[in-house]
Amino acid sequence: MGLEGRPRLRYNEKAMRIETLHRGLLPTLQCAAILAAGLLWPAISLSQANNPPPPSAQDQQGATDKKDNKPSEPGMTKLKIRVTTDADKPLANASVYVRFYTSGGFLHHDKLAEMNFKTNQDGSVKVPEIPQGKILIQVIAPGWHTYGKWYDVDKEEEAIAIKLVPPPHWY
């Protein structure tokens, strides 16, 4: 029988220490190494399988032609919003909120961006370029019922007419 499992005395000039060799340490380390290799193996093989072979010179030239034809940005649109009363009179100094989705939010989800405007004397607002898609327009004016509606915008320029109605009578 060997001396591996028994405590060993070791002499040091300053103090005497007892060192023990742990029997269970080596098998535990072996199991941990096997487990780590088993967990990493599928990730390594998947990353190698997903990498396509490098394209040839002809493929690269064809790919650049395709990139030139496809726009890199999504479609943009300009809005002109006209706010009037129920009697078709322009409503000046009304607050107009335009909300739309932009990419690049948390975990690559779209985030909701907002722009705030005030109508001029003609009751109109010119909105700078925003991405096409779903757009929320809200209008708030003192003495008038609040307006809000989602619009699907797919044109480069679009005019939106909004009529505000008086608030309901409170008894």
pLDDT at 29: 76
Helix (H) or strand (E) holding 45: helix 25-50
Q: What confidence tens digit (pLDDT) does each residue in 25-59 have?
A: 667 777 788 887 777 777 666 555 555 556 655 55
Two tokens, residue 19: 């060192």
Mean pLDDT score of the chain: 78
* Nearest Cα residue to 153 out of 96, 80, 88: 80
Two tokens, residue 83: 């706010």
Question: 3 pLDDT band (50/70/90 cuts)?
Answer: low
How large is the average pLDDT for residues 13-28? 57
- Answer for the pair 106, 77: CB distance below 8 angstroms, yes or no: no
Q: What confidence tens digit (pLDDT) does each residue in 79-93 have?
A: 999 999 999 999 999
Q: For residue 138, what are the β-bridge partners?
A: 97, 148
Q: d(Cα 100, Cα 81) in Å, to the nearest integer?
A: 15
HSE-up of 153 (CA within 13 Å, CB side)?
28
Q: Which one has a higher pLDDT value, 78 or 15?
A: 78
CATH superfamily of 77-164: Carboxypeptidase-like, regulatory domain (2.60.40.1120)
What is the length of the chain?
A: 171
Q: What residue segments make up the domains of the chain, in order of their start?
A: 8-49, 77-164
Sign, CA dihedral 130-132-138-139, equals positive
Q: What confidence tens digit (pLDDT) does each residue in 129-168 have?
A: 999 999 999 999 999 999 999 999 999 999 999 999 998 8
Whole-prediction pTM = 0.56
Percent over 90 (pLDDT), the chain = 46
